[in-house]
Amino acid sequence: MIDIANIAADKEVKEEGPAIFVTPKAVATIRETFEKQGMTGGLRLGVLGGGCSGLSYQFKFDAKERPKDTVLEFEGGVRIFIDPKSLVYLKGMTLDYKETIMDNGFVFNNPNAKKSCGCGTSFSV
């Protein structure tokens, strides 16, 4: 398993520009999901060691942000939490939500990923 803490320490995150981009469709889907489930808090985006390409995306609901998180706020009260180690790998990423005839789901367009698996949930740098 890849230890993202050691890799993240070797990389620098620049603070200019937004940490990640989230499309209006993704924001609306997150907001609708929170409302349907009666949840408060935010969506935690992160990176974990594992997956078929070495790193995998973490995508879960979290009641509150952690002290060192980057917190992104969007229309309608949608909040996204990203821990500092994961931000190294997610900086500049676009989170989108696609609806097709065959499938619906969130799509990660990550410029830091050198290689991705076929399902799009894991990547390598």
What CATH number should be reported for the domain holding residue 58?
2.60.300.12
Kindly state whether residue 48 falls inside one of the protein's structural domains.
yes
pLDDT of residue 110: 87
pLDDT of residue 6: 40
C-alpha–C-alpha distance, residues 105 and 121, integer Å: 11
Boundaries of domain holding 99: 17-114
pLDDT of residue 2: 41
Kindly state whether residue 41 falls inside one of the protein's structural domains.
yes
pLDDT of residue 49: 81
pLDDT of residue 9: 40
Counting Cβ atoms within 10 Å, is residue 64 exposed (0-12), middle (13-18) or buried (19+)? exposed
| Cβ neighbours around 46 below 10 Å, total | 20
Could you tell me if 19 and 95 are in contact, meaning their C-beta atoms sit under 8 angstroms apart?
no
Kindly state whether residue 10 falls inside one of the protein's structural domains.
no
The answer to pTM > 0.95 is no
C-alpha dihedral (65, 119, 115, 113), degrees to nearest 10: -20
Kindly state whether residue 27 falls inside one of the protein's structural domains.
yes
Number of domains in the chain: 1
The amino acid that residue 9 corresponds to is A
Kindly state whether residue 93 falls inside one of the protein's structural domains.
yes
Kindly state whether residue 63 falls inside one of the protein's structural domains.
yes
> To the nearest whole number, what is the mean pLDDT of the chain?
81
Kindly state whether residue 2 falls inside one of the protein's structural domains.
no
